[in-house]
Amino acid sequence: MGNSSSMLTQYDIEEVQKHSNGAFTQQEIVSLYSRFCQLDRKNCGFIPSDEFLTIPEFALNPLSHTLLTMLDALNFKDFVAFLSVFSPRATLQHKIEFIFKVYDTDCNGKVTFRDILRVLKDMSGQFMPEKQMEEILTKVLEEAGYQKDSVLVLSDFMKILGDKGVKMEVDFHVD
């Protein structure tokens, strides 16, 4: 299986670029393709979830479980689109939308107290009892002007995360 750009035509690269809203240069896309092929060992055209878990650095990330549902059966175009949010060229809005999606696992556009609690549990593991987490979350929500039973939508997230901004970037160095 080739891992050079001879497997990707110029048309392919441009199509992928468009699909990911111009977040990557053509060189970066070629480099990502090389990585995609490396992970797609059986040449299925998509990366099975198990393969991501063979990356030790990814497997030990507290949010790996949630991310795996978003990474399920992505072909190369979608793989690049997924990663585009981590490009320095991605917009703040795109990044906040992504974070929202991590919470909103049932994709109904609403993030509840339970949703946030679930993510916090992943992040802190056994090092914080659930009751204490609920208390902290309730307190912090109220200080920000929400109630425990409030339901947050995307515009709320934009408001909360928007002022200070979100630094979510990965270095896509080219080999």
CB 138 within 8 A of CB 131: no
- Strand ranges for 50-124 from DSSP E: none
Nearer to other proteins by Cβ, of 116 and 151: the residue is 116
Shortest distance in whole angstroms from residue 138 CB to other proteins: 11
In this complex, which beta carbon is closest to other proteins, that of residue 75 or of residue 124? 124
Q: How far is the CB of 110 from other proteins (least distance, A)?
A: 14
Distance in angstroms (rounded) separating the CA atoms of residues 144 and 165 = 17
| Cβ nearer to other proteins, comparing 151 with 160 | 160
Q: CB of residue 79 vs other proteins: minimum separation in angstroms?
A: 9
Q: Which is nearer to other proteins, 106 or 143 (CB)?
A: 143
List the one residue out of 108, 114, 111 whose CA is nearest residue 133. Answer: 114
Q: Which residues of 15-53 are buried (b: 16+ CB within 10 A; e: fewer)?
A: ebbeebeebbeeebbbbbbbbbbeebeeeeebbeeebbe
Q: Which residues on neighbouring strands pair with residue 152, listed in sequence order?
A: 111
Q: Which is nearer to other proteins, 15 or 115 (CB)?
A: 115
> Cβ of residue 171: shortest distance to other proteins, in angstroms?
7
* Minimum CB–partner distance for residue 127 and other proteins (Å): 4
Tell me which residues touch other proteins (CB under 8 A).
3, 32, 35, 38-39, 41, 50-64, 67, 71, 83, 86, 95, 98-99, 102-103, 116, 119-120, 123-128, 136-137, 140-141, 143-144, 146, 157, 160-161, 163-164, 166-173
Query: Token pair for residue 87?
Result: 């490009």
Q: What is the Cα–Cα distance from 53 to 40, expressed in whole angstroms?
A: 13
